[in-house]
A and B are shown apart, each in its own frame.
Chain A
Amino acid sequence: MSLAFPSPDHLPCPDCGASLPAAGDAGHVCDDERRIDYRLVELQPGIERFDLDLAVWLETPGGRFARFIAERDR
């Protein structure tokens, strides 16, 4: 019998991250809450980058003017 590089018995569901038997789990249905949580973790770096980019842009002349208009129309 030859040896093989080890592979885990379980792998996360690509849509919700739930741990499923690697051999296949036809009965799995993603839990909605878990799927949203999982998407948020995946998107987190993008959300952080957006916040950073926005903060930088708000200090540019265009950003400062947008803030001025928003403040005036509040």
Chain B
Amino acid sequence: MHENANGSRRLIEEVFGAGRFELVDELVAENAIGHDPALPEPASGPEGLKQAARGYRDAFPDLTMKVEEIVAENERVALRWTARGTHRGELFGIAPTGKEATVTGITIDRWAGGKVAESWTNWDTLGLLQQLGVVPAAAKAPA
């Protein structure tokens, strides 16, 4: 597999999905920027990214993440992933519900000099809130 693609996959599956925070220094540039709709402001550098990952893992300590598909072209890597975890810590002011949730997302990483320099993620925040029961979920239309 393409080296950058493998690094991007490890950031998602091993850092966010398994809490191996020590990998961040190896994979993320000092001045990197990480965009995520759930962060009040973009994550800055390796420490910002570790903080973001810790935030998710504090809320979902058993969080696992699986990269379903990777597309790599030049210095960019796009990944489609599925995350799954049980809500056991406060999240967005919501007290732990004990509910397990499954959400999907897409991340695009830009690599420079062997490290991730910028990362854009969009994930199903509405779906998470619906699964936690704080936003109503419309009934599925019959097939």
18 A-B pairs, CB-CB below 8 angstroms? A4-B138, A5-B138, A7-B137, A8-B102, A8-B124, A8-B131, A8-B137, A9-B104, A10-B103, A10-B127, A10-B131, A12-B131, A17-B98, A17-B99, A19-B101, A23-B140, A38-B99, A41-B98
- Please report B residues at the A interface, Cβ cutoff 8 Å: 84, 86, 96-104, 124, 126-128, 130-131, 133, 137-141
Min CB gap B58→A, angstroms? 16
Contacts of A55 in B (CB 8 A): none
- Are B127 and A17 within 8 A (Cβ)? no
List 16 additional A-B contacts (Cβ < 8 Å) besides A12-B133, A17-B99, A19-B99.
Answer: A7-B137, A7-B139, A8-B103, A8-B131, A9-B127, A10-B101, A10-B131, A11-B137, A12-B101, A17-B98, A17-B100, A18-B100, A19-B84, A37-B98, A41-B97, A42-B98
Min CB gap B101→A, angstroms? 6
- Please report A residues at the B interface, Cβ cutoff 8 Å: 4-12, 17-19, 22-23, 37-38, 40-42
From known contacts A6-B126, A11-B131, infer whether A19 and B137 are also in contact, taking CB-CB under 8 Å: no
- Are A8 and B127 within 8 A (Cβ)? yes
- Are B102 and A9 within 8 A (Cβ)? yes
How far is B54's CA from A57's CA once the two chains are assembled, in angstroms?
41
How far is B124's CA from A7's CA once the two chains are assembled, in angstroms?
10
- Are A10 and B98 within 8 A (Cβ)? no
How far is B84's CA from A30's CA once the two chains are assembled, in angstroms?
17
Contacts of A18 in B (CB 8 A): 100
How far is B63's CA from A38's CA once the two chains are assembled, in angstroms?
17
